[in-house]
Amino acid sequence: MHTVNNPIPQERRHKPSRFKLWEEQDDGRTIAPMDSDSLSRSGQRRSWLEGSVFDPRRHLPPEARAADQAARLQAAPPALSRREARRLTLNAVLAGLLIAGIYLGLMALFLLFCQFVWFR
């Protein structure tokens, strides 16, 4: 009889993994759904302020609040033209480059301060 050198000991070889034990315990119920439709109350996208203590519309009567919500849902954001979209993208990139330049400038000044003042 030919024996094979198996690095796994015999007592651990046929032991079920913890993952399989977890699968056997799972009964398929959804405890906390994390899809985006279930996170909002109505399935519609809503503002992060809506329903919080910081919502300025929380003191309105329910009829006025419903009318306000219906008006907000009907008002679509204006579509940007191609030129406006390019300008917006360019301004965003330039703002990021400005912030990166400020950080690099401050880092250079700190290195110069360390070299010529602090470590002398």
Distance (Å) of CA 106 to CA 103, 114, 120: 5, 12, 20
Is the pLDDT higher at 12 or at 52? 52
Residue 108 pLDDT > 90: yes
Cα distance between residue 22 and residue 55, in whole Å = 42
Structure tokens that stand for 12 in this block: 């651990």
- pLDDT above 70 covers a percentage of the chain that reads 56
Tell me if residue 44 falls in helix, strand or coil: coil
For residues 8 and 66, which has the higher predicted lDDT (pLDDT)? 66
Give the model's pLDDT for residue 17: 61
**Whole-prediction pTM value?**
0.41
Query: What confidence tens digit (pLDDT) does each residue in 46-105 have?
Result: 666 666 667 777 777 888 878 887 887 777 677 889 999 999 999 999 999 999 999 999
Judge contact between 13 and 6, C-beta under 8 A.
yes
The phi and psi torsions of 8 (rounded to 5 degrees) equal: -90, 125
Q: Where are the domains of the chain?
A: 85-120
